[in-house]
Protein backbone atom coordinates (compact mmCIF):
# COMPACT_ATOMS: atom_id res chain seq x y z
CA UNK A 1 0.00 0.00 0.00
CA UNK A 2 1.63 3.24 -1.13
CA UNK A 3 1.53 6.29 1.10
CA UNK A 4 2.72 9.86 0.83
CA UNK A 5 3.46 10.09 4.56
CA UNK A 6 7.10 10.01 5.61
CA UNK A 7 8.45 6.79 7.11
CA UNK A 8 10.49 6.30 10.26
CA UNK A 9 12.53 3.25 11.20
CA UNK A 10 13.02 2.79 14.93
CA UNK A 11 15.09 0.24 16.81
CA UNK A 12 13.54 -0.76 20.15
CA UNK A 13 14.86 -2.92 22.93
CA UNK A 14 12.88 -6.15 23.34
CA UNK A 15 10.97 -5.09 26.44
CA UNK A 16 9.79 -1.87 24.79
CA UNK A 17 8.79 -3.76 21.66
CA UNK A 18 6.76 -6.20 23.75
CA UNK A 19 4.96 -3.31 25.40
CA UNK A 20 4.07 -1.63 22.11
CA UNK A 21 3.03 -4.98 20.64
CA UNK A 22 0.82 -5.71 23.66
CA UNK A 23 -0.90 -2.32 23.39
CA UNK A 24 -1.40 -2.70 19.63
CA UNK A 25 -2.95 -6.15 20.03
CA UNK A 26 -5.19 -4.97 22.87
CA UNK A 27 -6.47 -2.08 20.75
CA UNK A 28 -6.66 -4.09 17.54
CA UNK A 29 -4.34 -1.81 15.59
CA UNK A 30 -1.06 -2.29 13.75
CA UNK A 31 2.30 -1.73 15.40
CA UNK A 32 2.82 1.25 13.14
CA UNK A 33 -0.46 2.85 14.20
CA UNK A 34 0.22 2.18 17.86
CA UNK A 35 3.73 3.66 17.61
CA UNK A 36 2.35 6.72 15.80
CA UNK A 37 -0.31 7.25 18.45
CA UNK A 38 2.20 6.90 21.29
CA UNK A 39 4.56 9.39 19.62
CA UNK A 40 1.69 11.86 19.11
CA UNK A 41 0.74 11.56 22.78
CA UNK A 42 4.35 12.00 23.92
CA UNK A 43 4.80 15.09 21.73
CA UNK A 44 1.59 16.58 23.11
CA UNK A 45 2.76 15.97 26.67
CA UNK A 46 6.17 17.49 25.88
CA UNK A 47 4.54 20.53 24.28
CA UNK A 48 2.26 21.00 27.30
CA UNK A 49 5.33 21.03 29.53
CA UNK A 50 7.02 23.62 27.35
CA UNK A 51 3.98 25.93 27.48
CA UNK A 52 3.77 25.45 31.23
CA UNK A 53 7.41 26.54 31.64
CA UNK A 54 6.78 29.61 29.47
CA UNK A 55 3.69 30.51 31.52
CA UNK A 56 5.63 30.14 34.77
CA UNK A 57 8.36 32.44 33.46
CA UNK A 58 5.79 35.03 32.43
CA UNK A 59 4.10 34.87 35.84
CA UNK A 60 7.32 36.01 37.49
CA UNK A 61 7.43 39.19 35.39
CA UNK A 62 3.69 39.98 35.39
CA UNK A 63 2.72 43.35 36.82
CA UNK A 64 -0.96 44.13 37.35
CA UNK A 65 -0.05 47.85 37.29
CA UNK A 66 1.19 47.51 33.70
CA UNK A 67 -1.57 45.17 32.49
CA UNK A 68 -4.40 46.27 30.22
CA UNK A 69 -8.10 45.81 30.91
CA UNK A 70 -10.34 43.81 28.59
CA UNK A 71 -11.85 47.02 27.19
CA UNK A 72 -8.42 48.55 26.59
CA UNK A 73 -7.34 45.51 24.59
CA UNK A 74 -10.51 45.15 22.50
CA UNK A 75 -11.52 48.75 21.78
Domain segments of the chain: what residues?
23-63
Q: 38-42, 64-68, 71-75 — which one is most confidently predicted on average?
A: 38-42
What is the pTM assigned to this prediction?
0.72
**Spatial separation of the C-alpha atoms in residues 32 and 9, rounded to whole Å:** 10
**Spatial separation of the C-alpha atoms in residues 74 and 5, rounded to whole Å:** 42
pLDDT reading at 2 higher than 90? no
**Spatial separation of the C-alpha atoms in residues 5 and 56, rounded to whole Å:** 36
Which band of pLDDT confidence, cut at 50, 70 and 90, is reported for residue 41?
very high
**Spatial separation of the C-alpha atoms in residues 14 and 27, rounded to whole Å:** 20
Mean of the per-residue pLDDT values of the chain: 94
Amino acid sequence: MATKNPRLNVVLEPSLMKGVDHLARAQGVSLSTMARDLIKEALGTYEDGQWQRIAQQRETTFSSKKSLTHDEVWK
